[in-house]
Amino acid sequence: MSNLSVESTCSLTGLAPLEAVLFDVDGTLCDSDPIHYYAFREMLQEAGFNGGVPITDEFYIENIAGKHNEYLREILFPDWDFEKGMKFLNDKEAMFRRLAAEKIKPVNGLHKLCKWIEERGYKRAAVTNAPRPNAELMISNLGLSDFFQALVIGGECERAKPFPDPYLKGLETLNASSSHTLVFEDSPSGTKAGVAAGMPVVAVTFRNPEHLLKEAGATVLIKDYDDPKLWTLLEELEKASKGIKAAI
């Protein structure tokens, strides 16, 4: 299903009856990437990365966004020892939390979508490469602590995204089937993870280039959760789910 054309024939009705919904956190629940980008840009420049020339937004999207910190340590600081690299990244996360506490806002339409999911009793979990303190801060500040029934951290799995392990753990935790679960993502790395775990991915496109999300295997591309395309597909999915239940 994840290979269906995003432009014309995409459908989510093959998921019927829907059981569960899995969400990434950074960039999917809230527009946090500009805060991450600012923290990385400032701290990398101070550390003399790239000769002290500030990283660009394009560099951030291609090399940093959506990736977990142990991977970033190897990519950004191949000549640093483990402790020094991880201290830099932990300090960066602390800077992010200080900024995010005041600045994060939900992606447009998020609470409408969460209400739709909750009213229908679907299982739900957050699945993220963010460190646990970051994820808990964002979820709490968005008022979603009671919405999510589980929080899966990529760094606490055997492998983080883009490997499927975090999403597979999410399914296991919720006791849900990949055949009846939908993923919301925003990064190519996360999209690859959801697809590799056997689920269709709806990708939010306002930060990452659409062609990269398509290449990663996204089934549907949406601007945000107010996108009429999303609600048309969810309405079709709900009708299909009701039809199957009625036939049983």
Percent of the chain's residues with pLDDT above 90: 85
Residue that finishes a domain, picked among 54, 70, 103: 103
Which CATH number does the domain housing residue 59 bear? 1.10.150
Residue 8's pLDDT band (cuts 50, 70, 90): very low
| Amino acid (one-letter) located at 118 | E
Looking at residue 132, what is its pLDDT? 96
* pLDDT for residue 96 is more than 90: yes
Please state the separation of Cα 91 from the chain's center in Å. Answer: 22
- Domain membership of residue 3 (yes or no) is no
pLDDT digits (tens, 9 = 90+) for 37-89: 999 999 999 999 999 999 999 999 889 988 888 889 999 999 999 999 999 99
Same domain flag for 98 and 109? no
| Annotation says 224 is catalytic | no
Looking at residue 167, what is its pLDDT? 98
Q: Look up the pTM and report it.
A: 0.89
Same domain flag for 202 and 151? yes
Same domain flag for 135 and 192? yes
Same domain flag for 205 and 174? yes
- Domain membership of residue 8 (yes or no) is no
- The two tokens of residue 52 are 């002290």
**Active site residue: 24, 33, 186, 227, which one?**
24
Residue that finishes a domain, picked among 54, 69, 103: 103
Same domain flag for 65 and 99? yes
> What Cα–Cα distance (Å) separates residue 230 from each residue in 77, 98, 202, 216?
40, 33, 9, 19
Same domain flag for 225 and 124? yes
Same domain flag for 94 and 145? no
Looking at residue 2, what is its pLDDT? 39
pLDDT digits (tens, 9 = 90+) for 153-203: 999 999 999 999 999 999 999 999 999 999 999 999 999 999 999 999 999
**Active site residue: 26, 31, 186, 227, which one?**
26
* pLDDT for residue 140 is more than 70: yes
How many structural domains does the chain have? 2
* pLDDT for residue 7 is more than 70: no
Domain that holds residue 64: 33-103
Looking at residue 60, what is its pLDDT? 92
| Annotation says 26 is catalytic | yes
To which residue do tokens 């991880």 refer?
86
Same domain flag for 218 and 236? yes
- Domain membership of residue 2 (yes or no) is no
DSSP 17: S
